[in-house]
Structures are given as C-alpha cells and as structure tokens.
Amino acid sequence: MKKIVLSALAVLTLGTAMNAETITTTEEKFLDRFHFKGDLRLRYESKETFYKDATESTNKSTYHNRYRLRLVSAFDLTKNLKFDVGMRSGYGNPTSGNQTFLDNKPLSDYFWQSLRFNILDITYKKGDSTLKAGRHPYMLYRPIKSQLIWDNDISFNGISYNYENDSRIINLGVNQPTYAEQVTAKNSINLFFAQYVQKMKLENSQLNLGAAVYYYTGIKGNTPIYGTNKNTGMGNTLVNGVFENNYHIVEAFGEFKLKDVISKPLAFAASTVYNSAASNKNFGYDVAVQFGKAKRVYDWQVKYSYTYLQADAVLGAHSDSDNFGGGSAAKGHAIRAKYKFGKNTYLAGTFFFDTLFAGKKATKPAADYERVQLDAIIKF
C-alpha cells in the first residue's frame, strides 16, 4: 500500500508538471508563490470522572494548561499544482495537537520537540476538482463540523479526491492510517471511502443531504493503532488486546441552514452511523444546532449537540478526541461558544456533560464525565 501511495504521488507530480503551463516571472513574482498561515491556541482544561457504583477513591480529576501550534505553508509549482507542508504540536498525536505545559521543564526544552509534520502533500486543483496525494487534512463534508466520525485534527495518508459545485459534493479516497507517526498496530490498515452530498438551495435557506461509506480493512485481530491511545481501543471492543471487529461504516446526514434569523445564521444537523462489520453495539447518532457565526469582529456563535455512540459504531481512534475523553462508548451533551474580538483573535469555551458506558475503560463501571475547555486563539 505504501508503494502504491508513493508511486501515485510521483506520477501525479511529474505528469501534471509536464503538462501544466509554467508560471513565468512576468505573471507572478517568485516570492508570491509562497503562502503561509498558522494559529496558536492557549487552553485551560479541566476533566472530572465520577464512576458509578465505585468507591470515591476511583474518581479522577485533572487540570491542564495547554497550547496548540499549527504552521502551514504552500508553494505554487504551477497554476494548478502546489506543494503543501504543515507542522503541528502534540508529538504526532493523530487527533490532537495539544501539548501540556510541563512544570518541571522550561518551554524551550520541549516546544520544538513536540512539532511533527501533519501535512506533506501535492495538491492539483482544476475547476471544481481537487486531488491530494501524500499526508493531507481530511477532505470530507461534516454537517456543522460534526466530529461523530472524524476528529478536527485528522490527517489522511494516501490519495483523496474532491469535487464540489453549487449543487453537489463528491469525495473519494484510498488511505493508509498506519502510514503515520506513533503507530503501534502490528498489521497495516487501509481505508477506502466515498461520500456524496446533495446541496439544495431554498428561499433564504439551504438543505444538504449526504451519505458515505468508510471501509477499513485490517482492523479485526489487530492491536491498538496509535501509541497515544495508551494501549486501549478508545471505546472499541478489544478481546485479549486485539480488536474484535472490523469497521465498515455507513453514514447518513441532513443539514438545514437559515441565512438570517434575528440577523444571524441558524443551522440544524443530524447524523447517523452504522458499522455493518459488527453484530452489536454498532450504532450512533449526533444532533446539533448552531446560532450565529464568529466571522467578523464582535461576531459570536454558540452550538449545542447531543451525541450517542455505541462502542463499535465508529473507529474510536479517529473520532472526537475531546468528547467522552476521546473515542466511543458514551453519550452526552456538548456546548460550544466562540467570540471574535479582534481581526485574528478569538475567545472560545467548550463544556461537555457525558455518561461513559460501562467497559469504555477496561474493568471500569459506567461514569459521569465532565470536561471544560477555555481557549484564547490567534491566527496569523
């Protein structure tokens, strides 16, 4: 699989470069081909777990001061072809760039050590089509940015295709999650996906209806995928330390957006997932509403969502790393708020009130889980 991905990347680069028109210095200065952006997030976070039918000593509370740094640059090779590279803090965690400030070390001792490449790809774009090859951010549509299946920070390793116009979105891909850092899986895992979204413009509103298939191979009988998962299935069922099931996930969703309700946008969304490769504990759903959008200075937004996710409905290593403490086998409420108080500066807060199902953490009973995140963000 790795050879296929690398070969495709080479063919895409050479073939496109040979056929694309060269950008001359008269059309665009050399330095104008470089593009750079990034963001820094400072976070205070508290996590509290209260186990049911257990002694008080088993309960757990933790408090952290954290940061996340992301740096992304691109170079225009031709009019349609560019090379992307990005780095993120977090020691290569596939679903999080968070890095905890360490009390026993000065920042200089671990700041640069935590940075890892999370983007290293070639992008070819022409008309409504985009093709990416290499390590790249996911190219999938998520209603109101739902993390039911995919965490915000996931990067894919392989080939992804996107087609989008005013009426539809098509996403296709062949990827290999084990072609990444922090991998502990004993065998290779492949991911094939196809997604279709129908966009329907209505009077002062828009309706999006979508469906997708995410087909993993090589998970059943394999060990936990990433070292950052701490040798757990992130809610997925393990038997003798290996996955009991494969994950052939079917997704369906709807999203309804109103442009102007009391001078602010309003959106509703509902998503369902079903893992056809598991015989039970294979269903999940998410419903959400968002009011406002933090787009201009002094704008704000607030979002509420309720998520129910059985143990083997999705691959826990790739779903939301914040809600439920990461992974599946839980249900609960999330409230997210964001305020833009400067041209490139934001304040945000997220509050999770969850119930962890018995067995989500090995030998542990059901538990109440509460998590608070307070963020200050600057984009540059």
* pLDDT tens, position by position, 295-325: 999 999 999 999 999 999 999 999 999 999 9
Residue 46 has pLDDT above 80, yes or no: yes
Residue 8 has pLDDT above 80, yes or no: no
Residue 23 has pLDDT above 80, yes or no: no
Q: How do the domains of the chain map onto residue ranges? A: 2-379
Q: What is the mean pLDDT of residues 354-359?
A: 95
Share of the chain above pLDDT 70, in %: 92
pLDDT of residue 109: 84
Residue 4 has pLDDT above 60, yes or no: no
Reported as a single tens digit per residue, the pLDDT across 173-231 is 999 999 888 899 999 999 999 999 999 999 899 999 999 999 999 999 999 999 988 88
Q: Cα separation of 166 and 218, whole Å? A: 37
Q: Cα separation of 95 and 267, whole Å? A: 26
Residue 25 has pLDDT above 50, yes or no: no
Q: What is the pTM of this model?
A: 0.90
- Residue 104 burial (C-beta neighbours within 10 Å; 0-12, 13-18, 19+): exposed
Q: Which residues contact 54 (CB under 8 A, 6 or more apart)?
A: 364, 365
Q: Which CATH number fits domain 2-379: 2.170.150.70, 2.40.160.10, 3.40.47.10, 3.30.565.10?
A: 2.40.160.10
Reported as a single tens digit per residue, the pLDDT across 150-181 is 999 999 999 999 999 999 999 999 999 998 88
Q: What is the mean pLDDT of residues 101-122?
A: 90
